[in-house]
Chains A and B, each alone.
Chain A
Amino acid sequence: MTTDMNADSYVTEDGRTIGPVVMDLKNITLRFGGVVAIKDISFDIREGEIRAIIGPNGAGKSSMLNVISGFYKPQEGEVWFRGSKRPPMRPYQVARQGLARTFQNIALFEGMTVLDNIMTGRLNKMNANLFQQAIWKGKAEREELENREACEKVIDFLEIQHIRKTPVGRLPYGLKKRVELARALAAEPSLLLLDEPMAGMNVEEKEDMSRFILDMNDEFGTTIALIEHDMGVVMDLSDRVVVMDYGKKIGDGTPDEVRNNQDVIDAYLGVSHD
């Protein structure tokens, strides 16, 4: 079976529909003073796909993610989101557009319970004004119930029912990662960015996380872009892979194409200079 990946939409071998381009990055260059973190990189992310960004340490993967989520502002290049060019935006504005993310070093609200953390993911779905919230009738009550329900769905999905009322600060690392994912998922994002979702996990936890990522994509149709430096995991998960090295893009394509790319092999295994 052949698939034309340049078409507007196509169906993958496992029967998922990949739609048109959601996020298009054009010639992004990011500098910190004299250091070039990202050099003239372009790639796109399509609706419904799992897109991986891989590369050795220091390749600029996290910087790329921070550009997409608005935490860094690139000096050159354009970010196109859903067919229109994105003006310079602050991270919270990007989030309100429907981008959710997780962080490499976990950024959770440690003092709040798991449920409260996940509820913050839905803050932007609440429109009741202060007065309505104070009298707790009509819109405020309805919204709270709706949001609560949506959160419970996410909690069930990620299998964290048993810790809903636990303050996040007390949880072990692996569960924190999962709670952070839950918070991002609760926002029902049109693009979900995961910064090393499996970093520091053991094999079993990695398998769980892979399953969640696949299921999220399958059941909710969530578009996911993720960073990972574990090649094995990425190849099984993703539809397309971007490979970065020293701030440059050295490969882009399906896992098979990337696996056989000589530049990628060199970057990962090293190359002898003789």
Chain B
Amino acid sequence: MPEQLLFAMEVTLNGLMAGVLYALVALGFVLIFKASGIFNFAQGMLVVFAAMTLVGVQTGQIPFAHLINTIFGTKVHHFGWTVPTILAIIVAGAAMVFVAWVIEKYILQHLIGQPDIILFMATIGMWYFMHGFAPLMWGSEVMKLDVGLAQGINETIDTTTYNWFGYGFFIDNLDIVAAIVAALLVTALVLFSQYTKQGRALRAVADDHSAALSVGISLRFIWVLVWSIAGFVALVAGIMWGSKSGVQISLAEVALKALPVLMLGGFTSIPGAIIGGLIIGVGEQLFEFAVGPLVGGATQAWFAYVLALVFLIFRPQGLFGEKIIERV
């Protein structure tokens, strides 16, 4: 087999794996947008906050240590214990539910019935608030996240492909784990929304608020629920991204990559988020591989956005979005 083709295959596989990570972030956007029509700009910050909380709890860091030290002149930083990973994930998950509750009670509750743009602005506010709040709580150093996920080259794939083609593929174990976790997460979400009472209520709210109220669904409960689920998805995305590249505030910018993913897949479709993520992941890797050398590289920085722009022109609702019909 020609070497170029083998390279391209390896690049495609790696692109798929990267796409899974984009898709995880995009999923959080879709959930909230579907249920409440809010484009949650702060989703990326939720990812960072979730990851920071996880590391902080796991390593026994004292929250607000800097603040406490400044006010009381103490020098505390750690409790001096470490928390088992599973327990730390549960605590971080609970923290995300609490965040969802706070957002609903102190922000969304007061903005019911306001135009979408107001709610969007509120989520930008949340972004900046958390941008300051998260480091205040957990410090601003780069945190190392280790939840015991396998990392580094997958030897089996390397050896197998070497035996087949005489060329070993480099696939990161972490990417494989991420793909499996994402598949499980999406399956769980789909089962939840199709077959449970709460899922049915969630779909009902996404469809029509008045009708949902008239059959006895509490909008507040559903909003807390959906923000909690988005928080949980953020936690999963945070674990994956954090394990890969460390946890720091700039991680929130991966959320920007979710925007082209959403434009491609459609803002209201869960499968759309996944497939959009994969297309962007593969597309930008292959484009860099094929065209990058001709234009001096670094095409990943803009490829996704240009692709999204082209999509906006020809299919503004995205691949899986609801068709936009306007009646005159």
Contact = CB atoms under 8 A, between A and B. Distances in A.
Interface of A: 69, 71, 90-93, 95-96, 100-103, 107-112, 116, 119-121, 123-124, 126, 128, 130, 133-134, 183-184, 187
Contacts of A116: 200
Contacts of B197: 123, 126, 128, 133
Nearest to B268: A111
A71 B195 CA distance: 29
Given A95-B216, A130-B196, 18 more contacts: A69-B214, A91-B213, A92-B218, A93-B216, A95-B214, A100-B215, A107-B211, A109-B203, A109-B208, A110-B208, A112-B203, A119-B200, A123-B201, A123-B215, A130-B198, A133-B196, A133-B197, A187-B216
B157 interface: no
Contacts of B214: 69, 91, 95, 100-103, 107, 184
Contacts of A124: 215-216
B267 to A, nearest CB: 14
Contacts of B322: 111
B204 interface: yes
Contacts of B217: 92, 120, 123
A111 B201 CA distance: 13
A134 B208 CA distance: 26
A93 B210 CA distance: 13
18 contacts: A71-B210, A90-B213, A92-B212, A92-B219, A93-B216, A96-B216, A102-B214, A103-B210, A103-B214, A110-B208, A111-B206, A112-B203, A123-B216, A123-B217, A124-B216, A126-B197, A133-B195, A134-B196
Contacts of B215: 95, 100, 120-121, 123-124, 183, 187
B218 A120 contact: no
A109 B196 contact: no
B208 A120 contact: no
Contacts of A71: 210, 213
A108 B196 contact: no
A189 B322 CA distance: 34
Nearest to A69: B214
Contact of A103 (B196, B201, B211): B211
A119 B204 CA distance: 11
A206 B299 CA distance: 63
Nearest to B214: A101
B187 to A, nearest CB: 13
B12 to A, nearest CB: 34
A103 B210 CA distance: 9
B116 interface: no
A10 B209 CA distance: 40
A101 B195 CA distance: 25
Contacts of A107: 208, 210-211, 214
B216 A92 contact: yes
Contacts of B204: 109, 112, 120, 123
B158 interface: no
Given A92-B216, A120-B201, A109 B195 contact: no
Contact of A95 (B196, B198, B203, B213): B213
Interface centre among A103, A107, A184 (most CB of B within 10 A): A107
Contacts of A102: 214
A242 to B, nearest CB: 22
B207 interface: yes
Interface string B116-159: 00000000000000000000000000000000000000000000
A105 to B, nearest CB: 9
Interface in B186-235: 195-198, 200-201, 203-204, 206-208, 210-219
Counting from the closest, the 6 A-B pairs by CB-CB distance are A95-B216, A107-B211, A109-B207, A91-B213, A96-B216, A107-B210
A31 B307 CA distance: 52
A134 B188 CA distance: 10
A116 B208 CA distance: 14
B208 A108 contact: yes
Nearest to B217: A92
A96 B215 CA distance: 8
Nearest to A147: B197
A58 to B, nearest CB: 21
B218 A108 contact: no
A102 B217 CA distance: 15
A188 to B, nearest CB: 12
A171 to B, nearest CB: 15
A90 B200 contact: no
A252 to B, nearest CB: 26
A90 B218 contact: yes
A135 B67 CA distance: 46
Interface centre among B203, B204, B215 (most CB of A within 10 A): B215
A110 B207 contact: yes
Interface in B270-328: 322
Interface centre among B208, B210, B216 (most CB of A within 10 A): B216
Nearest to B191: A134
B206 to A, nearest CB: 8
B8 to A, nearest CB: 39
